[in-house]
Amino acid sequence: MGDVLTGPARGLFDAGGRALAAAFGGLARVRPAAKPLHPRGRLYDAAIERRGMDELVGVPWIDEAGVTTGLVRLSRAAGLPSALPDIHGMAIRLPTDGGGHGDLLLATTGLGRITRYVLVPGATADHRSYSTLIPYRTQAGPLNLAAMPAPDEDRAFDLACATTRGTWTVFARMQLAQSPSEDSPSFDPVLNTLPGLAYYDWATRLRERSYRAARHSRADR
């Protein structure tokens, strides 16, 4: 899907964005909290060892080998009791040059060519696959990101990327350790992007209004 929308397509994603914002606003009124969605979560310190890519995608953090430290929050989207299935979220915060940071938001999905775009509820956040659902715009074209449970380590995930319907290529291993911090940071992938990863215009239209509603909800607390 191209970066420029006209006519019916622009209206469709504008309508989708308004619907998401309305749903979020309604939930914020029912659940008056700084985080109406993903209200409670566990915070982890993340050590990420990047192996790099043979076929470059134009995203330095993915293309280049190295070690990164970051912050990860695992949470349940609706905040339902742990005995009930819920959509699980994984928020990753990574440092960027100049003292800033970039945020990635992933949710529990399948990993197939179609199921990577389908949210999958479950009882627990462990041993589940996560993806970004919406592809990023990169020099190599549309790119999805995923986190898959590492088969040989506890609290570890393999980070992978793939074209919209291509196979996954693992580029890093992420190890999680319970964070001593009691902070509850707010992750915003629309405002805080990583160099080389950008949203398509249609994706921004779909998500921006709901994230704007989230910022207003936080500001009202």
Tens digit of each residue's pLDDT (9 = 90 or more) over 165-217: 899 999 999 999 998 877 778 898 888 999 999 988 877 777 665 555 555 54
Is 10 within the bounds of a domain?
no
Is 28 within the bounds of a domain?
no
Domain that holds residue 137: 38-198
Is 214 within the bounds of a domain?
no
Is 168 within the bounds of a domain?
yes
Tens digit of each residue's pLDDT (9 = 90 or more) over 69-86: 999 999 988 777 777 888
Is 171 within the bounds of a domain?
yes
> Domain with 177 in it: what CATH number?
2.40.180.10
Q: How many domains does the chain have?
A: 1
pTM above 0.85, yes or no: no
Residues 6+ apart with CB under 8 A from 16: 205, 206
Say if residue 146's pLDDT is above 70.
Answer: yes
Is 78 within the bounds of a domain?
yes
Residue 173 has, within 13 A of its CA and on its CB side, a CA count of 10
Alpha carbons 113 and 194: distance in angstroms, whole number: 25
Is 215 within the bounds of a domain?
no
